[in-house]
Structure 1
Amino acid sequence: MNTLPAQQAASLSPPAVPRFRFDPTDKVTIKGVDYVPTSADQFGHVFRRVDDPAVCESFTHGEIDELRKEDGWVHCRGFFSSSKARLRIAKSTTFVSDLPSAQIKTVLFQKTFCDRFLQMAADGLATRSDVSMQRAVDNILNELISSQLSDGRCGSEDLTVTRPPSPRTLRRWLSAYAACAWDTMALAQNYGRSGNRFPRFGKDERELMQEYAELYASRLQPSKRSLLSDLHGKIVELNKTRKVTGERLLKFPSRAAFERVISRLDPFHVYAGRKGPEAARKKFFIVQSGLSVTRPLERIELDENRIPLQTLLTDARLWDRLTDKQKALVERRRLWLSTAIDTATRCCLAALIIENPSEASAIATLEMAVNDKSAYASAAGCVSPWDEGGTPEGIGNDAGAGYKAYGYRAAGCDLGADMMFPTTGTPQMRGRQERFYRTVHTGFFAKFDGRTFENVLAKGDYDSEANAVLDASELGRLLVRWIVDVYHNTPHSGLGGETPRNAWLRLTKIFPVIPPPDKEVNRHIFGITRESRIGNHGVRFLGLHYQSQELQRLRRKTGMKPVLVRIDRNDLGRISVRPKPSLNDTSDQGWISVDCLAPGFKGVSVEHWMRAASVIRRKHADMAKVSEGVVQQALRDIAEFSQAAAKRAGIAPRLLTSDDFNKFDRDVARNFEFARGSENAPAVLEVSAESNVVEGAAEQPVQSPEIPDEDGDEAWFVED
């Protein structure tokens, strides 16, 4: 079969400019200027300035995509909505993952009861009477206990059962949940009093009642009592005219009659008119049944599956140097594939090769599904782009332990997505994922030696381990190539013969997707969380110092108490710091962003720096000081190595844990740190005074980084 040249093939699949959806209640900040979205078409968006509403500016879809990748871009979904305004008044914390761990469990427990009861009420299985709600609470509690029992074995540790709510408490949760447009943070502490409780209202006579009842579906959110009062006033005026003309006087409708007219209005129409279309979609998405999806990212599905291939966990470049005896001793094991699929278009949004499923792998898969994956496709040599992504509206999960973990569920809530957990043992509820894995098995894994089989009869006497020919890195690169260039461009029977790539391009023009979180929010949601203390040099992570004036002001408040540090595993140029949250502390304590003192770390990943630091440590362990040029050269060398490895590694990253960071600090980073000399001297890498001096190196004092404050003073921080 003839193949097209790379240039001609690339012209057949040009990169598509993504189209994102912004709501009128969103706030978009571009280089310090706040905007409100007003309109959009096939060419771009029109934003109105908040500080000067008479001024509107236009941005093309391409300009939006480029601005979104810069530091000055901030997108706050629903910032100007009434529900978000209520939440900001009650508490400054806006992310579930920022709450104390004990409160996260409580909030997610309440959310589970609320969502499940709403589903039962929509199916006609429960009402809001005390008897019915108590029966529903018992059923929900039994489901939760059964779900926990399914994860363990007989004789394992005892279950911890949380006391269920009473009907009165559940009604209070539902009121607070509904008042804030089904935002999970409404269930957090101090939000129970923010419920929007409307009094019972009356109704009207036939034509006038219908006319005034329609006014109830208004963004002004009139009360039924006021509408009934206005209606009575209208009837008084009409009766004056009718009395003169001798016509029959109109009767004043009772409150119950007016309520019956309002209750016959379409519920979605009423809620959308009063709360906005987005809040209505979220409300009715929770209680809808079936998998009827029409737009991209309306629902995505996450799942994990064992890879049917015995892979060799070794670097391919070193494999040829091993002897036959050494090759025979190489460990062979089964790996896992963690993926995310868009239900509407069948596009693969994320794919990670992992050793074992965990909470970290679930969060990493969700992060990959949300963000752009063009770098993966480019490193793998793909012809088509892998730019499918954005913020999902709903997430369907497997029943694995990683998906049930509080950290993963908090990340989904912070994205504003509805988390759905189908019943264990019902793979048909994740039909798209199950079908995708069958396609991967027959279309990709079946092409290689070392493949395992679905059962013993199919495998026969085939020796999978003896025929294992690929390592995990090479497997990841080839899998990326197959997903992007083959699967996305192959006609799909579930799409009526349309390819997933074409379905994405077609539907995103009709239904633009919600853009991914900006860099700051992405770090807050998916970042690695560590505890540290603020010292003279600021916060230290992996031998790097992060310092700012705002951080030192925070130090004066926290003293020597540890603070939370959140790091983006793909960018060490900036971190986020905040005090540890407390259940009894309601002060305004949000995340602050702090830049790295050492230059050149913007866009440098955690793994990239750990490799570079290890190389520096091995080469220069006998030197007291290492110039910045040596450090930058090591970073460039490791970058070239990382780029070469990425072309092979693809989607087989190493998920670093807290133990990995502790080991790195103990063995590598503790013996040196960045410091900057006085009089604008170049930055150097010195042996840390706080640690043991490297053998053969002269002990050198560590110079404190002096950062001028707003008044020009240099020594503005407090010495230890």
Structure 2
Amino acid sequence: MIFNYEPTDTFLIYGEAHWCSYQTDTLCIFEPKEKGAGPPKTFSRKEIGFLRGSNHWRYVPGPRTYERLKKAAKLGSKALQDAHSEDQDAALFAYMECMNLEAFRNAGAVSLTLKSLTSKWTEIVGAFLEQEATRNLGNGPRRGGSKLPEQRKPHAASTLLKLYRRLRQSNYDPGVLVPHYRTGKERSLGFCDQTEDFIRRFVKASINREDPYANAIAKDTRDALVAENERRSKNEEKLLGVPSVRTIERRIEWLDPFEVAVLRHGIDKARMDHAVSSGGLDLLYPLERVEIDEWEGDVRVKFKQLGIWDSLPQDIRNDVPDGRKWIYVAIDCATRCILAMSVCSQPNSDAARRILGQIVKDKTDLARLAGAEGTWDFFGTPHLICTDTGSAFRSNMFILAVNTLGSIILFPPVKIPELRSRVERLFGTMARIIMPLLPGRTFSNPMARGDYPSEERTVLTDDDLTRILTIWVVDHYHQQPHRGLPGAQSPASRWKELVNKYDVTEPPDLNTRRVALGYEYIRTPSKQGVVLFSNHYDCKELMKYRQAHKGKPLRIRIDPDNIGAVSVEIGRVWHQANALNGEEIEGLSMDHWTRVVRELRQRNSAEAELTLAQRNRAIQKVRKIVADARDLGGLVDPEYTAERLDYLATNLCAGLIFNHPDTPPVSDEDVPFGRKIEPIFPTEPDIHSPVTEQIQPNSGDDEEWKLEE
């Protein structure tokens, strides 16, 4: 994915503010915003993708980024295509004038000032009129004496200068030159307003009968007009015009067909008959509108928990209960690309919130782990998110997460599925194409199921179902022609085309995502920052806070997908606090960390304090196990809830503390990413090592010492 950056955008790379001074399709150059802060940094697009997934990258979009997308949406090529024919001619005439001016400017003959244009105005107009004569001729008359097309009068120099500047600001889109007014007048209907209003009201009142013919309604309307004029004549009022029956029939033909259907058959029947079957909303660019929904899949799977299934004996596996899983999907409406997908046991706000996390990140690595060959790099910041009114989407947690990510949430009205037609149609496609291929299918209703033994043929697990759906989405669905797209393009091709045309907004950085999607805790900072899940986190803002507010708790949030850093709220601003000596846990998920702590508990059950070397060896061991197992933790819902994380914090991690050295490692400027990690040699824990000040209950600075600290 290639994002275009504006000079007003800010990038916090390893804690320092930069701006993008140069960019191509392969690399970007970032310069420090503060003079003397250091040399410029050059990163390839691949390296930027690596940074985007770490805690060393923050992206703060500038005002021009949003303005550019608004202009692209409002002043796209359709502005010229949908304009009146006379306005199209006027816009193209002005466009050719601007191109003629640019030719003089590129040749160095004029500059973009009124004085310079005035001095060369005769030459500029002469060259333009000569071009117009041949341009408008086309395949017209070639014989002498033939009538030539009429020419428009050129604009004045000051007006042309304004038009040219407007054209350059829009990247030379001629649609911005379309006039904003219409000079032509609508043709009069031929009757006074009172007559037209009488015909309209009488026709609507008569059309609700059982399928009356237009001719019968027209005759009744004309008779009613005659009777109305007789009444007005007696009262000496102004008479109405009496059109012919055929004229009234034409008025009936001009009525809105949907309105006629509502009057005749009711709103529900009319909506069904006139529902949009294809096309739907007019969308311009990717992530303009994203639809999210949940669906109970038509297949039964084993209820297994991640990391437990492989260690169970076969007889226990056979006795594990099974049932239907819920599938969450987010789809981009403009391109039909699937932006996120997750399998979970029950619909809930936590699972819905984690779907938002998939929308804003690259999922190619997860797709490769599932066995897919293609890429799944459709991501960015959505502008509008549409969901149904399910409890998972109406929760405060989900709405706040959408708002923090910089998006807008919309709940379309119920009983109108076409307002969320893309995701509804996707579920129908999955039920029709992929579900019939899976054992243990449940079908949509008992009649369709017949005597198919769904329970007996339940052999898939949630991992299996996730892998199957991922491969189908990445290698099949995204690459196949889609009849709902122009020219039956594939979703992947349509995404690439629209991204090149309109661009996509850079996804939020990890700190913003952690604030939006993370889980919140209240902690009191100590000398080594805050402690959460036996890890210490600190930053310079947290140090200043502790000095000024000793013993006062604050809010922190952690992302279970990456526990290498947390976000702390100080003065209503969320700051990133990295883990002390946390090179090893950078990018480590909560599920993997749970395995590490269990490993340490089993081997060192009698010790409350362990060394970092012991911890890091356990982490490397778990990473190898996970790599061998090809873990799909990003797609299979880990079923995290606030209650489950609280249980882990107060039980599994309680009392376990790692002995941090007094002098943490310093970043190496020669290393482009992260910190330089020296090899760790196996050593036995030193039982004579002094206990750190943070865990001493009688230390002078920490009178209110608690077990969690």
Per the normalisation by structure 2, the TM-score is 0.60
Gap change, CA 1:401 and 1:701, over 3 Å in 2: farther
Which residue identity is paired with 2:313? R
Offset, 1:310: 0.9
**Structure 1, gaps ≥5 residues long:** 1-17, 84-206, 219-263, 268-288, 580-587, 688-697, 707-714
Contact 1:675–1:686, Cα closer than 8 Å, also in 2: no
User: What is the percentage of aligned positions where both structures have the same residue?
Assistant: 27
Question: What is aligned with 2:336?
Answer: 346
Q: 1:597-608 alignment to 2 at 5 Å? A: 597-599=580-582, 600-608=584-592
Offset, 1:304: 0.6
SS at match of 1:493: coil
Alignment of 1:497 with 2:488, yes or no, is: yes
Gap change, CA 1:637 and 1:432, over 3 Å in 2: same
Q: 1:519-558 alignment to 2 at 5 Å? A: 519-558=510-549
How many residue pairs match? The answer is: 482
Measure the CA separation in 1 of the matches of 2:418 and 2:602.
Answer: 53
Contact 2:612–2:660, Cα closer than 8 Å, also in 1: no
Which residue identity is paired with 1:639? R
Contact 1:347–1:388, Cα closer than 8 Å, also in 2: yes
SS at match of 1:306: strand
Question: What is aligned with 1:513?
Answer: 504
Question: What is aligned with 1:461?
Answer: 451
Offset, 1:640: 2.6
Question: What is aligned with 2:643?
Answer: 659
Q: 1:103-502 alignment to 2 at 5 Å? A: 291-314=281-304, 318=310, 321-323=313-315, 326-327=316-317, 329-495=319-485, 496-502=487-493
Measure the CA separation in 1 of the matches of 2:527 and 2:22.
Answer: 49
SS at match of 2:555: strand
Root mean square deviation, CA, Å: 4.1
Question: What is aligned with 2:692?
Answer: 703
Offset, 1:466: 1.9
CA deviation vs aligned residue, 1:85-119 (integer Å, no higher than 9, x gap): xxxxxxxxxxxxxxxxxxxxxxxxxxxxxxxxxxx
Which residue identity is paired with 1:564? R
**Structure 2, gaps ≥5 residues long:** 68-154, 167-178, 183-278, 666-679, 705-709
Question: What is aligned with 1:149?
Answer: none
Gap change, CA 1:39 and 1:552, over 3 Å in 2: closer
CA deviation vs aligned residue, 1:229-262 (integer Å, no higher than 9, x gap): xxxxxxxxxxxxxxxxxxxxxxxxxxxxxxxxxx
Offset, 1:67: 5.0
Gap change, CA 1:57 and 1:623, over 3 Å in 2: closer
Contact 1:480–1:650, Cα closer than 8 Å, also in 2: no
Offset, 1:330: 1.7
Gap change, CA 1:718 and 1:335, over 3 Å in 2: same
Measure the CA separation in 1 of the matches of 2:289 and 2:663.
Answer: 57
Gap change, CA 1:265 and 1:46, over 3 Å in 2: farther
Question: What is aligned with 1:559?
Answer: 550
Measure the CA separation in 2 of the matches of 1:508 and 1:405.
Answer: 32
Alignment of 1:20 with 2:3, yes or no, is: yes
Gap change, CA 1:40 and 1:399, over 3 Å in 2: farther
CA deviation vs aligned residue, 1:193-250 (integer Å, no higher than 9, x gap): xxxxxxxxxxxxxx99x98xx99x99xxxxxxxxxxxxxxxxxxxxxxxxxxxxxxxx
SS at match of 1:475: helix
Offset, 1:78: 2.9
Measure the CA separation in 2 of the matches of 1:509 and 1:678.
Answer: 51
Which residue identity is paired with 2:314? L
Measure the CA separation in 2 of the matches of 1:443 and 1:686.
Answer: 57
Measure the CA separation in 1 of the matches of 2:29 and 2:45.
Answer: 11
SS at match of 2:295: strand
Contact 1:528–1:568, Cα closer than 8 Å, also in 2: yes
Contact 2:404–2:512, Cα closer than 8 Å, also in 1: no
Measure the CA separation in 1 of the matches of 2:304 and 2:49.
Answer: 38
Question: What is aligned with 1:593?
Answer: 576
SS at match of 2:557: strand
Contact 2:608–2:655, Cα closer than 8 Å, also in 1: no
Gap change, CA 1:531 and 1:482, over 3 Å in 2: same
Offset, 1:301: 0.9
Contact 1:627–1:685, Cα closer than 8 Å, also in 2: no
CA deviation vs aligned residue, 1:26-83 (integer Å, no higher than 9, x gap): 3344456655568877666687875579x99987655654554455533212358999
Alignment of 1:577 with 2:594, yes or no, is: no
Gap change, CA 1:466 and 1:699, over 3 Å in 2: farther
Measure the CA separation in 1 of the matches of 2:304 and 2:26.
Answer: 49
Measure the CA separation in 2 of the matches of 1:555 and 1:39.
Answer: 41
Offset, 1:532: 1.5
Which residue identity is paired with 1:498? Q
Measure the CA separation in 1 of the matches of 2:21 and 2:281.
Answer: 31
CA deviation vs aligned residue, 1:248-294 (integer Å, no higher than 9, x gap): xxxxxxxxxxxxxxxx9579xxxxxxxxxxxxxxxxxxxxx961112
Contact 2:611–2:659, Cα closer than 8 Å, also in 1: no
Measure the CA separation in 1 of the matches of 2:41 and 2:533.
Answer: 43
Offset, 1:555: 2.1
Measure the CA separation in 1 of the matches of 2:66 and 2:359.
Answer: 30
Offset, 1:368: 0.3
Gap change, CA 1:704 and 1:481, over 3 Å in 2: farther
Offset, 1:571: 1.8
Contact 2:366–2:632, Cα closer than 8 Å, also in 1: no
Gap change, CA 1:409 and 1:21, over 3 Å in 2: farther
Which residue identity is paired with 1:612? V
Measure the CA separation in 1 of the matches of 2:302 and 2:47.
Answer: 44
Per the normalisation by structure 1, the TM-score is 0.59
Alignment of 1:643 with 2:627, yes or no, is: yes
Which residue identity is paired with 2:297? I
Measure the CA separation in 2 of the matches of 1:620 and 1:32.
Answer: 37
Contact 2:370–2:467, Cα closer than 8 Å, also in 1: yes
SS at match of 1:670: coil
SS at match of 2:567: strand
Measure the CA separation in 1 of the matches of 2:613 and 2:44.
Answer: 41
SS at match of 2:356: helix
Question: What is aligned with 2:615?
Answer: 631
Measure the CA separation in 2 of the matches of 1:492 and 1:339.
Answer: 18
SS at match of 2:357: helix
Contact 1:537–1:704, Cα closer than 8 Å, also in 2: no
Measure the CA separation in 2 of the matches of 1:297 and 1:454.
Answer: 31
Which residue identity is paired with 1:311? V
Q: 1:56-95 alignment to 2 at 5 Å? A: 61-62=45-46, 64-69=48-53, 71-78=55-62
Measure the CA separation in 2 of the matches of 1:26 and 1:82.
Answer: 11
Offset, 1:299: 1.2
Q: Bigger shift: 407-416 or 367-376? A: 407-416
Offset, 1:458: 0.2
Alignment of 1:620 with 2:604, yes or no, is: yes
SS at match of 1:450: coil
